[in-house]
């Protein structure tokens, strides 16, 4: 009895459910690099490098513990370019009795997986992805019968259920949320720590060359690639965050500074979303730092809320509301995405900074995403699908299940309040308060009308 076990590009966890019960003598693990996954949006080159390099490292780790891996590389001769075709070709090679896969993270691939039984004529078992705190069914049970979905309510339930930051039946420190302490402007004199980055090894460099060759015209630069592509490096990144970022993450999580895209942020979303780290272990490490007196509660709670709260909540929203959700447009916004989202060529310094770090690192932090690129799209009436596809393409951590609700529900309020309580629209005064961008900008943040007025202040009524 041989089982073909499919491991997708964002399922790079040794304890992924598709590998449970694996028979090393008989089963084959199939991993596939295919063009359809690298081109369904015009991904940033670093994002493709990240996923393919991490997949190649994971395959090698499996081989080293004696697992039989059939790895189809992007440049394997006869690669058909699609997951479904490659599965059929692998069945011809190995003649398995059945297929096992962990539920895919994205609707598009889930729909594909549901068709594999009919396509191949073999039984296909789609297993739950148990790496999350809340299964899809758990979120559905929470959402059922509620008129209003709010992350805070869901988050409190998750805190209680998983006993994270709880003391004597209540929230640690007596409050669920310490955001009032988390909105500080960064003093100009604050030294920003250098963050741990990972120089590309031979495997990553091979992938970088392949990506330059196949996707040379795509957005973004690859030279500064520094993301962890193995579990070992992802753990080092986690420890770097706990030591160098977490203690001040809370205070300055909404701050922005020119030339300093990382500040005190975790930089862990790419590793988490690929499966190199688990949400449980990152929460555990953060809470342990607080208990050891190495990080304050406002920082640790703020970080835990991102992982146990927002990350789980947006996944739940995605699976409850897809596929209709992707066409949300409550504000009936129709404008095209301006070209400067790709080129960075704009006199608006805040947008230039955000697009610049996006191009260089496939990264900008959540306040740049929400209050600069997202806020501008909201105020300018950019069609939600245009900005949503942009976010999905350009960030190393952008997988649709997490990116789409963050964009449609939070950044541009396209779902009309299904996910978030209010539109995150703000004038230039907010950006001026939280950053050092405006002092060096072509526009005047204090003006509301006229050619020099900050575009974030401008509206049709003026």
Write out the residues near ligand SF4 by the rule CB under 6 A.
348-350, 428, 431-432, 437-438, 441, 443, 445, 454-456
Q: What are phi and psi of 448, to 5 degrees?
A: -110, -20
Beta carbon nearer to ligand SF4, 222 or 350: 350
Q: Which two tokens stand for residue 184?
A: 């500080």
- Tell me how far, at minimum, the Cβ of 438 lies from ligand SF4, in Å: 3
- Tell me how far, at minimum, the Cβ of 457 lies from ligand SF4, in Å: 7
Beta carbon nearer to ligand SF4, 28 or 348: 348
β-strand 166-167 against 124-127: which pairing, if any? unpaired
- Tell me how far, at minimum, the Cβ of 434 lies from ligand SF4, in Å: 10
Using alpha carbons, select from 306, 314, 312, 237 the residue that is nearest to residue 277: 237
Beta carbon nearer to ligand SF4, 226 or 455: 455
- Name every residue whose Cβ is closer than 8 Å to that of residue 144 and which is 6 or more positions away in sequence: none
- For helices 136-143 and 312-321, give the axis angle rounded to 10 degrees: 80
Query: Whole-angstrom Cα distance, residue 68 to residue 31?
Result: 11
Query: Whole-angstrom Cα distance, residue 295 to residue 34?
Result: 43
Residue 281: which H helix or E strand, with range? helix 279-291
Beta carbon nearer to ligand SF4, 212 or 345: 345
Beta carbon nearer to ligand SF4, 325 or 437: 437
- Tell me how far, at minimum, the Cβ of 345 lies from ligand SF4, in Å: 14
- Tell me how far, at minimum, the Cβ of 387 lies from ligand SF4, in Å: 17
- Tell me how far, at minimum, the Cβ of 258 lies from ligand SF4, in Å: 9
How many Cβ atoms are within 10 Å of 110's Cβ, its own excluded?
16
- On whether the CB atoms of residues 136 and 142 are closer than 8 A, the answer is no
Using alpha carbons, select from 172, 185, 402, 406 the residue that is nearest to residue 301: 172
- Tell me how far, at minimum, the Cβ of 341 lies from ligand SF4, in Å: 14
**How long a stretch of residues is the chain?**
462
According to DSSP, residue 410 is labeled I
How many Cβ atoms are within 10 Å of 345's Cβ, its own excluded?
11
DSSP 198-267: ----HHHHHHHHHHHHHHTTSSS--TT-----SHHHHHHHHHHIIIIIHHHHTTTTT---TT-S-TT---
Beta carbon nearer to ligand SF4, 37 or 432: 432
Beta carbon nearer to ligand SF4, 138 or 448: 448
- Tell me how far, at minimum, the Cβ of 346 lies from ligand SF4, in Å: 8
Beta carbon nearer to ligand SF4, 101 or 350: 350
Q: Which two tokens stand for residue 31?
A: 């991993």
Query: Whole-angstrom Cα distance, residue 251 to residue 295?
Result: 11
How many Cβ atoms are within 10 Å of 170's Cβ, its own excluded?
12
* 3-state secondary structure at position 444: strand
- Tell me how far, at minimum, the Cβ of 182 lies from ligand SF4, in Å: 21
Beta carbon nearer to ligand SF4, 294 or 337: 337
Beta carbon nearer to ligand SF4, 392 or 431: 431
- Tell me how far, at minimum, the Cβ of 367 lies from ligand SF4, in Å: 13
């Amino acid at each position: 009895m041989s089982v073909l076990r499919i491991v997708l590009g964002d399922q790079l966890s040794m304890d992924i459910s598709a590998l449970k019960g694996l028979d090393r003598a008989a089963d084959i693990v199939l991993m596939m690099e295919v063009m359809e996954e690298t081109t369904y949006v015009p991904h940033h080159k670093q994002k493709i490098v990240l996923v393919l390099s991490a997949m190649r490292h994971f395959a090698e780790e499996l081989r080293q513990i004696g697992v039989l891996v059939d790895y189809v590389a992007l440049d394997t001769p006869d690669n058909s370019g699609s997951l479904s075709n490659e599965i059929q070709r692998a069945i011809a090679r190995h003649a398995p009795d059945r297929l096992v896969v962990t539920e895919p993270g994205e609707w598009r691939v889930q729909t594909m997986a549901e068709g594999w039984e009919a396509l191949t004529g073999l039984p296909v078992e789609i297993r739950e992805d148990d790496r999350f705190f809340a299964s899809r069914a758990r979120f559905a049970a929470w959402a059922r019968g509620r008129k209003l979905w709010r992350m805070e309510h869901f988050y409190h339930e998750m805190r209680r259920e998983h006993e994270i930051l709880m003391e004597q039946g209540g929230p640690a420190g007596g409050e669920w949320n310490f955001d009032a302490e988390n909105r500080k402007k960064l003093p100009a004199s604050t030294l920003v720590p250098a963050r741990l980055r990972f120089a590309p090894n031979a495997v990553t460099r091979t992938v970088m060359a392949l990506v330059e060759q196949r996707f040379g015209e795509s957005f973004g630069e690859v030279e500064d690639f520094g993301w962890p592509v193995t579990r070992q490096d992802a753990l080092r990144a986690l420890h770097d965050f706990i030591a160098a970022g977490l203690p001040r993450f809370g205070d300055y999580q909404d701050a922005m500074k020119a030339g300093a895209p990382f500040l005190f942020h975790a930089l862990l979303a790419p590793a988490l979303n690929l499966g190199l780290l688990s949400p449980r272990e990152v929460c555990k490490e953060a809470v342990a730092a607080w208990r050891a007196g190495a990080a304050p509660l406002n920082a640790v709670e703020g970080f835990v809320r991102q992982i146990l709260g927002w990350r789980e909540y947006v996944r739940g929203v995605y699976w409850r509301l897809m596929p209709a959700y992707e066409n949300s447009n409550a504000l009936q916004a129709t404008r095209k995405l301006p070209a400067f989202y790709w080129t960075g060529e704009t006199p608006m310094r805040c947008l230039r900074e955000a697009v610049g770090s996006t191009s260089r690192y496939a990264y900008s932090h959540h306040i740049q995403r929400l209050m600069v690129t997202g806020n501008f799209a909201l105020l300018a009436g950019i069609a939600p699908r245009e900005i949503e596809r942009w976010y999905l393409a350009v960030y190393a951590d952008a997988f649709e299940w997490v990116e789409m609700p963050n964009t449609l529900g939070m950044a541009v309020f396209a779902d009309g309040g299904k996910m978030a309580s209010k539109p995150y629209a703000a004038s230039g005064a907010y950006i001026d308060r939280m950053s050092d961008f405006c002092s060096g900008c072509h526009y005047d943040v204090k003006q509301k009308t006229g050619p020099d007025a900050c575009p974030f202040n401008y509206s049709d009524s003026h």
